[in-house]
Amino acid sequence: MNRFHFAFKVKDIQSTHEFYHEILNCTIGRQTEHWIDFDFFGHQLSAHISNNIPELDYCGKVDNIKVPIPHFGCIVKDHEFEFIKNALQSHNIEFIIPPQTRYKGTRGEQKTMFVLDFSNNPIEFKSFKNEEEIF
């Protein structure tokens, strides 16, 4: 599988390091005083300091739940989903959409949860019951 690269805005390196490395256990890549890279479950995230982080817009609607757009995230295996959920809960990270099963009993059934990182970036984690139904 090809890896994606995603560059996004954060308020500072210290809180970004704490969220992605200490809570989510993402390995740190290169970094400077202005940006930091993470191995985000096999993909490259590049967090860049900015004074202009956009406000959230809950304009998306999925399975009758309003979701923030834009957002990013990762599709993970079920055991990884549970690890991430437990890590977030143990660090008292508030869910903007709590862990739940979407489309239960139908094609595309998936576990999902949304959180905000410490710079207010919305992140979704998903785990599909059947990986052949991702698309």
Cα–Cα nearest to 20, from 123, 128, 89: 123
Q: Identify the pLDDT of residue 30.
A: 96
Q: Is pLDDT above 90 for 59?
A: yes
* Shared domain check, 68 and 25: no
* Shared domain check, 91 and 31: no
Residues 111-127 have pLDDT tens digits of: 999 999 999 999 999 99
Q: Is pLDDT above 90 for 107?
A: yes
73 contacts 113 by C-beta, under 8 angstroms: no
Q: Is pLDDT above 90 for 46?
A: yes
* Shared domain check, 67 and 9: no
* Shared domain check, 19 and 84: no
Widest Cα–Cα separation across the chain? 48
* Shared domain check, 95 and 41: no
Counting the structural domains of the chain, the total is 2
Other C-beta atoms closer than 10 Å to the C-beta of 115 total 23
Helices (H) and strands (E) in the chain, counts: 2, 10
* Shared domain check, 120 and 64: yes
d(CA 61, CA 113): 14
What's the rounded mean pLDDT across residues 61-71?
A: 93
Q: Is pLDDT above 90 for 63?
A: no
Mean predicted lDDT score pLDDT of the chain: 96
- Domain range for 72 is 60-133
What's the rounded mean pLDDT across residues 49-65?
A: 92
Q: Identify the pLDDT of residue 1.
A: 79
Q: Is residue 55 part of a domain?
A: no
Q: Is residue 54 part of a domain?
A: no
The CATH code of the domain that includes 30 is: 3.10.180.10
pLDDT band at 50 (very low <50, low <70, confident <90, very high): very high
* Shared domain check, 92 and 32: no
